[in-house]
Amino acid sequence: MANSYFQFKQFTIHQDQVAMKVCTDACILGAWFSAKIPQYTTVLDIGSGTGLLMMMLAQRSQAAIHGIEIDLTAYKQLKENTSQNDWKTRLKVFPGDARSFRFPMQYEFIISNPPFFEDDLQPADDREQTAKHSKHLTLDELVQVISANLQPHGAFGILLPYHRWEYFNQLATGASFSLTEKLFVRQSPGHPFFRAILHYTRTPDDFAPTFELTIRNATGGYTPEFVELMKDYYLYL
């Protein structure tokens, strides 16, 4: 059974009411972009879940960060988590469907860990299905939501299964976004890549550098690169 909470260095994530618990790849997403947004003043997290990404970004920036969550039970936990930290005055959360919700502004940065297993076997539990699968928000719809709610000079970041990144990139470039960098993540040196983190802007750019991150070394310990990325967040690093 998963723990009812996950303790970070500067905040706590309660997760007993949500289908999707804190996971390593989501933490990597938050940490990677937290170092890239200090210049941004407004951020939107689409599909906020527990509020993990909102608080990771808030810890290392002065941004005003909004989040939206469609599952009402998860929204209640999101509201609880975002109201119990040092940055609560900069965090605001909304219940609702991002496809139809009228946000109070366009944002300078949008981040999302979406329900991305569109073509995989779906779980029986409805809430887990909504959290993990694109039943309520397809990747194509997500691109449209981002485009509608992102400022012209803005950027966005997304976490995907590795085997889906090229398909998503076609959708994003078709909507006039340009890939500026990508991070491919593997569990260990003996594993293939299993996650892709992508960074987009609307500024045309023909060069998108590729970075790689391996979480654990051959003996099972964390790699120096992973420790460096997560040391501001994980308790025992």
Q: Identify the CATH number of the domain in which residue 145 sits.
A: 3.40.50.150
Task: Kindly state whether residue 9 falls inside one of the protein's structural domains.
Answer: yes
Task: Kindly state whether residue 237 falls inside one of the protein's structural domains.
Answer: no
Task: Kindly state whether residue 16 falls inside one of the protein's structural domains.
Answer: yes
| Residue span of the structural domain in which 196 resides | 5-230
Cβ atoms of 99 and 33 within 8 Å: the answer is no
Task: Kindly state whether residue 118 falls inside one of the protein's structural domains.
Answer: yes
Cβ atoms of 44 and 103 within 8 Å: the answer is yes
Task: Kindly state whether residue 130 falls inside one of the protein's structural domains.
Answer: yes
Provide mean pLDDT across the span 71-99.
Answer: 95
Bridge-based pairing state of the strands 107-112 and 42-46: parallel
pLDDT digits (tens, 9 = 90+) for 131-179: 444 457 899 999 999 999 999 999 999 999 999 999 999 999 999 999 9
Q: How many domains does the chain have?
A: 1
Task: Kindly state whether residue 235 falls inside one of the protein's structural domains.
Answer: no
Task: Kindly state whether residue 236 falls inside one of the protein's structural domains.
Answer: no
User: What is the token pair recorded at 188?
Assistant: 């260990």
Cβ atoms of 157 and 180 within 8 Å: the answer is no
pLDDT digits (tens, 9 = 90+) for 116-136: 655 443 444 444 444 444 457
Task: Kindly state whether residue 134 falls inside one of the protein's structural domains.
Answer: yes
Q: What is the pLDDT of residue 116?
A: 60
Q: Give the residue, 103 or 237, on which the prediction is more confident.
A: 103
Q: Which amino acid is at 216?
A: R
